[in-house]
Every structure is written in C-alpha cells, then in structure tokens.
Amino acid sequence: MLNPSDMQKLLKQNAVLLLSVSLLVVSCAPKKDKSSVTGWTYNDPQGNGFRVAKAKEQATGPGLVFVQGGTFTMGATQEDVMGEWNNVPRRVTVASFYMDETEVANVHYREYLFWISRVFQEDTAVYNHALPDTLCWRSALAYNEPYVEYYFRHPAYNFYPVVGVTWKQAHDFCLWRTDRVNEEILFEKGLTNKKAELQKQMQGGGQENFNTKAYLLGEYQATPGKNMKEFKDPITKQTPTNISFEDGLILPDYRLPTEAEWEFAAYGYVNQNPQPRKKEKGKRGEELVANKQVYPWSENVNGLRYTRHGSMQGEFLANFKRGSGDNMGVAGGLNDRAPITAPVKSFLPNGFGLYNMAGNVSEWCADVYRPLSSEDMDDFNPYRGNRWQKVDMSTGKPERDSLGRIKMVDVTDSESNNRRNYQRGNVINELDGDSSSQVFYDYGKTTLINDHSRVVKGGSWNDRAYYLSPGTRRFLDEDHSDCTIGFRCAMTRYGSQEGNGSRTGNWFDKRRQNSRKM
C-alpha cells in the first residue's frame, strides 16, 4: 500500500500525463476552414452551421475526352467551291470542355432504348418516339434494303455510328445519359441504395425514375445508401436524403456540342502546340492561330493520305467518297475499306484523341443555323439557339412531368426587358438579319432556313473531300434524319482550363511578388 507522499506524487504524474494527452489531442484535431470574409469557421458544430465541401476538380464523365480550349480562326480554310459563303473566317475563343471520344454507336443507342422499354412499359409512345428511322437507308434507285433491317440491330454493326436519329432524339439521348451517369455515381459512392432504386424504377410506371434536376431539387426521393451519413448536418446531426450540387459529385449535363466547340475540337491543335519543357521553364508554346490546316488529323494536315513510310503509306485517313461511284476503291486495293460507315474507333484519332471528326458520319451540333452566324455571334463561346427557361413554380413548388423531369417554362419578354445583357427570353433570332431583329444584310434575299434548322458539321461516308474540313457547315431541320448523320455528346468544363491539377490564372512565387511591390 502506497504511503500518502507516494500517492500524492503519483497523482501529480497522472495529472501531468493527462494534460499532455489533452494537448496532443487538441493539436492533432483537424484544423477547420475559416471564412476570410467573416472569420466564422466552416463545417463547425460550434459555428453557424455553414457546410462547405472540400475543393475538388471536375471528374471526367464516361466516354469523354478533355479538350483544352483557346483561340482559333473559325470558318473557311479553303476555296468556297460550293459558292455558299456561309463560313466567313473569324477569330473566336472557346472555353475548355469535354467531348465524346467517338460518335455514339448503335450499341449505345440500343442501351438507351432498352432502358426506356423497361421503365416506360405502360407508355409505348415514349419508346416509339426514341426509335431511329431505319428507313433512312432506302433509296428509290438503289438496293439498300438489308441496311434497313440489319444496320441498327445486328451485332456486326454494334460499334458503328448510329444514324437515322433526329436532332431532337440526339438531344433527348443527352438528357437520358446525364441522369444515368449521375445515378451510377451515387450508386458507386454508396449514397443511394442501388438494389432498392432499380427495383423502384424497373416497375414500368415511367415517371418514378431518377432525374438529376429532380433529385437536386428534392422532388425525387432516392433511397439513401450507407455512406449518406457522411453528409449529416453539423448542427442538427440529421442525415439528409439527398446530397446537393455544392458537394461537387454530380456531373454537369451531357449535351450536343456547339458548332464552335465541334470545329475547334476537330482541328486538334493541341497536338501541334508544344508545351513548355521541364528544363526550359521560360519557354512556352506559341499560339497557332495562323495554322490554316484543312483536315483534323495531325499527320499530313492538308492532305488525305498517310505520308510516313511503312505499311500504312498512302492509306486514306478518313471514311469518305473519293468521287462519283467510288465509295471504297477497287477490289484488291480498297482506299478506306468502308462502303458505308465504319466502326467508331477506326482511322487515326486527332490531336485531342477524338476519332472520326472528318468522315464516317456528319454530326449534329446544338446551334440553330444561320448563313452568317460568324458575323452575328459573340467571339467568346459563340452559339446561336438560346431560349431560356426556368423551373415552373405555378403550383408553389417544382413538379415532375410524365417522364420524371422537372417541368420548365419559358422566360418571358416582360421578365427580361429591364435587363442590360438580354431583353427577350427567346433570342434565337437575335441580330440575324430578319425583319424582327431590325438588322438587314441585303435587300430581297430569302432562305429556306427556319428556327428549327440545326447545324450539321463534318463530312460523311457519302461526302466528297470538301466537307471533311471542319470549317464547312450545313443544316437540316431538327425533326429530320439521314443515313449520313449521327452525333456525339459534349460537357462543359468547370474550373481550371488546363485540366485537373492545374490552376486558373498565372501564379507567381512570393519572392517575385514582393519584388514587384512599389
């Protein structure tokens, strides 16, 4: 048994040890982020409850390739042999974005149709509306009937580009893809219960399916997963049923690329713009605005054939029609080996890693077509087709339509007329030379285009070489389709413009900054 003096000594030692442990725990506690504006801490139960997700880069969605933006000369790069003069050269800037590595293939579109058939079992009209027009292969004076039956569904054509799809159908595919990708992200992160969600959606009712906007607005109640507890409120300690957009996990919308994005991506300039070498930090790649290449590929950029010595010498670099009656060359010496389309990963990718940005199929763009778009549009992210909408709050809260999407209404002119940056909700016709815009290019000239005419870019398997140049452009009504037109999706890039791991703006070390102080 300890005597009183030893007991007192032991108690003092224990007190010192306890104090040391307490200080160690405090020093090891994670440092909370603090607002540089108010001084309040973020994510702090003792603070005001404001929750801020850790800064993170945008993830790359499935099938996408990062396209670093920049300035380039949009429009014609060769003689206007068609006499249309609808692609007047103009220097513009495109912000960085993502684009599909390949054209959307038959198997991808069949996956879309399969999902519709499972989820909308009670509404066959939704399925029928999404079906591509396989009759697009028919010709009054050609025997193409086998393609009508086999091209879209036979496994031999699984990875050939889907055709016979209207602009509207391509747009709807992008909406569907956004929801499926974000739904899978939530499954993978354990934020929603995959088994319960699939069971709920596959009952065939239709409306009760995951929609990104409905989920973020709280109008679609997903079954929480095991990891949702990580997002509990720091004050109430309650676990939410849905995460928010500010958590940075939900990807932006898949969409059709703008004409400027498509054309910029097709050139693949990055492959010819040397980046600074590690040993030469002071040197930078010069701008290639003056580079007037004709075709997308990085080998022989102004020619149609592979020019390096070897087994590939002289082979065509795209799937196109060489001349009348020559879709693939002669037997024993085929020039592109494809009488119609070819697999989406055939031929060489361009500098950005994108396949078939010339030839194979032409592709839908988001823009409404106007012959003189280059003279009308802004020089940063040029685009014609804005028709702004907002969430329909007529019942006091957001609601979903029969497809499970949030109901939207058009922004009215009366809501816009006091703004300085736009005065109408529908600006498709903004400054386009028609009577309502009060802008006139020339008297008495008319056109067959309308507000439903959409831009088509890139040559196809049945086009001459002229249309292989990214600067050429054509149009088709958005509810029409063709056996030469397909599409690929794009996505906006948020944050740093040089990709993940890079900063926005030029940053200088403290020593250099201090030396510049007055």
Pick from 345, 363, 374: which is nearest to 432 by CA?
Answer: 374
Instruction: Return d(Cα 426, Cα 415) in angstroms, integer.
Output: 12
Classify residue 5: in a domain, yes or no: no
Contacts of 124-128 spanning 24+ positions with Cβ under 8 A: 126/206, 126/403
Its sign, for the CA torsion 34, 38, 40, 42, is negative
**Bridge partners, 305 (sequence order):** 316
What are the tens digits of pLDDT across the range 251-288? 999 999 999 999 999 998 776 554 544 444 444 444 44
Instruction: Return d(Cα 117, Cα 120) in angstroms, integer.
Output: 6
**Bridge partners, 336 (sequence order):** none
Parallel, antiparallel, or unpaired for β 389-391 and 97-100? unpaired
**Residue in this structure with the two tokens 């006139």, named with its chain if needed:** 440
Instruction: Return d(Cα 72, Cα 93) in angstroms, integer.
Output: 6
Parallel, antiparallel, or unpaired for β 362-368 and 485-486? parallel
Q: What percent of the chain has pLDDT over 70?
A: 83
Higher-confidence residue of 349 and 15: namely: 349
Question: Distances from the Cα of 227 to the Cαs of 45, 50, 157, 235, in angstroms?
Answer: 20, 21, 41, 19
Number of structural domains found in the chain: 1
pLDDT higher than threshold 80 for residue 31:
no
Q: How far apart are the first and last CA of the chain?
A: 74
Q: How many Cα atoms are found within 13 Å in the side-chain-facing hemisphere of 125? A: 3
Q: Lowest mean pLDDT: which of 158-162, 310-314, 343-347, 474-478?
A: 310-314
* Domain span holding position 336: 64-189+249-274+317-382+454-492
The residue-averaged pLDDT of 386-393 equals 96
Instruction: Return d(Cα 291, Cα 259) in angstroms, integer.
Output: 19
What are the tens digits of pLDDT across the range 207-227? 889 999 999 999 999 999 999
pLDDT higher than threshold 60 for residue 26:
no
**Residue in this structure with the two tokens 């005597």, named with its chain if needed:** 3
CB atoms within 10 A of CB 44: 16
- The CATH number of the domain where 458 resides is what? 3.90.1580.10
What are the tens digits of pLDDT across the range 234-243? 777 888 889 9
Classify residue 481: in a domain, yes or no: yes
Pick from 336, 343, 346, 339: which is nearest to 325 by CA?
Answer: 339
What are the tens digits of pLDDT across the range 352-363? 999 999 999 999
Rg (CA), the chain: 29
Do 106 and 158 form a contact (C-beta atoms < 8 A)?
yes
Classify residue 54: in a domain, yes or no: no
Q: What is the pLDDT of residue 473?
A: 94
In terms of Cβ atoms closer than 10 Å to its own Cβ (0-12, 13-18, 19+), residue 247 is middle
Pick from 231, 240, 230, 225: which is nearest to 194 by CA?
Answer: 225
Q: How would residue 305 be classed by pLDDT, with cut points 50, 70 and 90?
A: confident
Which of 37-46, 66-75, 141-150, 413-422 tops mean pLDDT? 141-150
Q: How would residue 25 be classed by pLDDT, with cut points 50, 70 and 90?
A: very low
Instruction: Return d(Cα 27, Cα 398) in angstroms, integer.
Output: 47
Classify residue 29: in a domain, yes or no: no
Read off the pTM.
0.88
Name the token pair of 387.
């028709």
Classify residue 145: in a domain, yes or no: yes
Classify residue 130: in a domain, yes or no: yes
Range list of β-strands (E), 372-472 = 389-391, 408-410, 453-457
Classify residue 118: in a domain, yes or no: yes
Instruction: Return d(Cα 339, Cα 325) in angstroms, integer.
Output: 11
**Residue in this structure with the two tokens 């070390």, named with its chain if needed:** 509
